[in-house]
A and B are shown apart, each in its own frame.
Chain A
Amino acid sequence: MPDKNKYPFIEGKNISFCVPNLENIKLYASWDNHPEVRKYSRNLFPVNPEQYKKYLEDGQDRVPREIGFEVWHNADDKLIGFIGFNHINWADRYGNIGLTIGEPKYWNKNLGFEATYMILEYGFNELNLVKITGNAYEMNIGSWKICEKIGMKRELVLKKQAYVKGKYVDEYQYYIFKVDWDQLRIKIEFK
């Protein structure tokens, strides 16, 4: 099997964040189409790889409102997901996190938690953000449990905010400030 090119940007214990890569757009498309994965990332429309091409080529010169990374499993040397900030407001210094572990084999292994830790570090320590938010629909229990475990607080419950599988569901929004993170981060370790 030919080695995939990867360009690590942040290295963690079990996973690393790499720069998005045009070579992998087929995989990105398969995740966003995958019936189980897209339930949680809430992707409603079928997508083809060309649509990622445009996204990757477009965002190159301006100050980004979005910054994303590939998530790679270190030991298996495998591309397993995507993470980043999907709404950065530079003037007010906050960003919203989005995370997809696209390969179901890698669910329930604490990797989502580790990825969230790394992205918070990046957002606060490198992007100089003051506040980071994350949101999840009520049935996406895995997602908002990560937010709570890592120390984010629930700021809003938006009632009947989205239509999922035939009914309106609530959306939870979580937040954390840098001052809080500075205290919390020292208590977290990864094996």
Chain B
Amino acid sequence: MEDQVTFTFIRGDIIELWAPTLEKVNLYAKWINLPMARAYSRVALPKSVNLLKKILEPKSDEIMRTDIFLEIYHRDDKKSIGIVGLNNIDWINRKANISIIIGESDYWGKGLAIESLKLLFSYAFEDLNLHKLNAIVHTPNERSLRVFEKLNLSCEATLKDEIYVDGRYYDSKIFSLYKKDWLNRNKEEGALNAR
């Protein structure tokens, strides 16, 4: 029997990051529009199916992409559980914003966001040669705040009253990670693992 063709792009231990496909656009839109995501994440990913389709449309080689997102796939359970990606990629200043949504709630709290982001960071710094990554987290979103703190991103700024949710204003925090720090971190971890 012929193997199903898969679009694995990055391989991790528990997670794989796959190239997104037009066939699954409705699934991606469902995750992005989840009430939890809408209220507290306000991710930079477009919420409409049509805008998502536009990102996946064939483009001329001449124009540099400003958005790249990948499907998060749980290898053992053989299930797609969310999306992670880079938005507003600025190739001259070499920075981008991070977005992540674990859309299937059964998979929350298992460290999968952290693994997905680590794979994304390697891709951004080791393949795309970016200098800096930013994540904008709105303060009600404690789960996200914890994820970025666990990943040792530093909070570079707090924007006051940045979003209006549930009848009041909340602050947003900007977390940042630099290529230099990421590569050093991996070198140290690599050395530790080698012993």
Are any A and B Cβ atoms less than 8 Å apart in their complex? yes
- Mask: chain A, 16-53; 1 = CB below 8 Å from B; 0 = not: 00000000001101100111001000001111111101
* CB-defined contacts of A47 to chain B, threshold 8 Å: 19
Interface segment out of the listed B27-35, B40-48, B123-131: B123-131
Nearest Cβ on chain A to B174's Cβ, whole angstroms: 25
Is A163 at the interface (CB under 8 A from chain B)?
yes
Contact status B7-A163, CB under 8 Å: no
A1 an interface residue at 8 Å Cβ cutoff?
Answer: yes
Judge whether B20 is part of the interface by a CB distance below 8 angstroms. Answer: yes
B58 touches A33 (CB 8 A): no
User: How many residues belonging to B are interface residues under a CB distance threshold of 8 Å?
Assistant: 27
Interchain CB contact under 8 A, A33 and B125: no
Which interface class (under 10, 10 to 19, 20 to 34, 35 or more) fits A?
20 to 34
Does A165 count as interface, using CB distance less than 8 angstroms? yes
When distances are taken between beta carbons in the complex, the residues of chain A under 8 Å from B6 are 30
Binds A, one of B8-16, B109-117, B153-161, B163-171: B8-16
B189 at the interface (CB under 8 A from A): no
User: Which of B's residues lie within 8 Å of A, judged by CB?
Assistant: 1-2, 5-11, 18-22, 56-59, 65, 68, 70, 125-129, 183
Report the separation of the CA atoms of residues A44 and B88 in the bound assembly, to the nearest whole angstrom: 17
A191 contacts the other chain (CB 8 A):
no
Q: Is the CB of A33 within 8 A of B7?
A: yes
CB<8 Å pairs between A and B, sample of 6:
A30-B5, A35-B11, A45-B68, A46-B19, A50-B22, A51-B58
> A27 to B6, alpha carbons, bound, how many Å?
9
Other contacts beyond A48-B21, A50-B57: 10, CB < 8 A: A1-B1, A27-B5, A30-B5, A30-B7, A33-B9, A45-B65, A45-B68, A46-B20, A165-B126, A166-B125
Against B, the Cβ 8 Å flags (1 = close, 0 = not) of A110-123 are 00000000000000
Q: Is the CB of B20 within 8 A of A48?
A: yes
Assess whether A34 is in contact with B58, with CB atoms less than 8 Å apart.
no
Task: Assess the A165–B21 pair: CB atoms within 8 A.
Answer: no
The 9 closest A-B pairs by CB, nearest first: A46-B19, A54-B58, A51-B58, A166-B126, A163-B129, A26-B5, A33-B9, A33-B7, A33-B19
B60 to chain A, nearest CB (A): 9
Cα–Cα distance between A54 and B105 once the two chains are bound (Å): 37
Which A residues lie within 8 Å of B129 (CB)? 163
Shortest beta-carbon distance from A123 to chain B in Å: 23
| A29/B19 contact (C-beta < 8 A), A46-B7, A46-B70, A50-B57 known | yes
What chain B residues lie within 8 Å of A49 (beta carbons)? 21
Q: Chain A nearest CB: distance from B22 CB in Å?
A: 6
What is the 8 Å Cβ interface bit string for chain A, positions 38-72, against chain B (1 contact, 0 not)? 10000011111111011100000000000000000
How far is the CB of B122 from the nearest CB of chain A, in Å? Answer: 9
Task: Specify which chain B residues have a CB less than 8 angstroms from the CB of A163 in the assembled complex.
Answer: 127, 129
Distance in Å from the Cβ of A54 to the closest Cβ of chain B?
A: 4
Q: Are A33 and B8 in contact (CB under 8 A)?
A: yes
Q: Within the assembled complex, what's the spacing in Å between the Cα atoms of A27 and B125? A: 28
Taken together as a complex, chains A and B put the C-alpha atoms of A38 and B10 apart, in Å, by 10
Q: Given A33-B7, A35-B8, A53-B58, A48 and B19 touching (CB < 8 A)?
A: yes
Question: Is the Cβ of B8 less than 8 Å from the Cβ of A44?
Answer: no
A164 contacts across to B, CB distance below 8 A? 127
Chain B hits for A53, CB < 8 A: 58
Given contacts A46-B20, A46-B70, A47-B19, A35 and B10 within 8 Å (CB-CB): yes
Instruction: Report whether A44 and B128 are in contact in the complex, using a CB–CB cutoff of 8 Å.
Output: yes
A55 contacts across to B, CB distance below 8 A: 58
In the complex, which residue of chain B has the Cβ closest to the Cβ of A48?
A: B21
